[in-house]
Amino acid sequence: MAGAPLVRAQERFDLAKHPNEANRFGWPDELPRKHTAMGRFKHEGANVIVAKDGRVAAWMVPGMTAVEVLTFARLAGNLWIATDGNALDSNDGLFATPIEGPERGHLRQFLTVPPGAETCGPFITEDDRSVFVAVQHPGEITGATIDQPASTWPDGDYAKPAVVVTWRLDGGPVGT
């Protein structure tokens, strides 16, 4: 436990020294109460990362927006943008834009998802070689039916959500 990032940040998270820390805010003896700003607005989720310097960051966005910025990290030198309800009149996807250098601000589509789906929870591995995304509700568009689906992703049967991983064939950093 001594090497865990939260223990390094604050000693109170070392349960060996402070075994009741998990119950500090009344859980589970009382009804849970919010003691942070997280969750104070309508949102669909959060990405939590431990930075290389040991700090923990949670990135959240309001739900039901045209574009949801789910992850901002200096991973492969990019700002990563996952879309839900793409206003560009195309399939949603995961986009990367360099935050430094001559390509700074140039938006590139990294991957696309099936019609009606949204790209959720992108996770870039620490070595910048792989990206995991959750593909939610593929084929969920007006007029689609079981007999006439808008998508048969991922296996040609009927549309199903899934988590996928993608990488570069040459093994290089993703998003470059």
pLDDT in tens, 73-107: 455 578 888 887 766 677 888 888 888 889 888 98
Taking the alpha carbons at both ends of the chain, their separation in whole angstroms is 36
As a whole number, mean pLDDT of residues 57-70 equals 54
Contact 68, 54 (CB under 8 A): no
**Mean of per-residue pLDDT scores for the chain:** 75
- How confident is the model at residue 164, as a pLDDT? 93
Confidence of residue 113 (pLDDT cuts 50, 70, 90): very high
Backbone angles phi, psi at 155, to 5 degrees: -125, 15
- How confident is the model at residue 58, as a pLDDT? 62
- How confident is the model at residue 56, as a pLDDT? 67
- Which tokens hold the place of 104? 């700074």
Confidence of residue 4 (pLDDT cuts 50, 70, 90): low
Contact 89, 137 (CB under 8 A): no
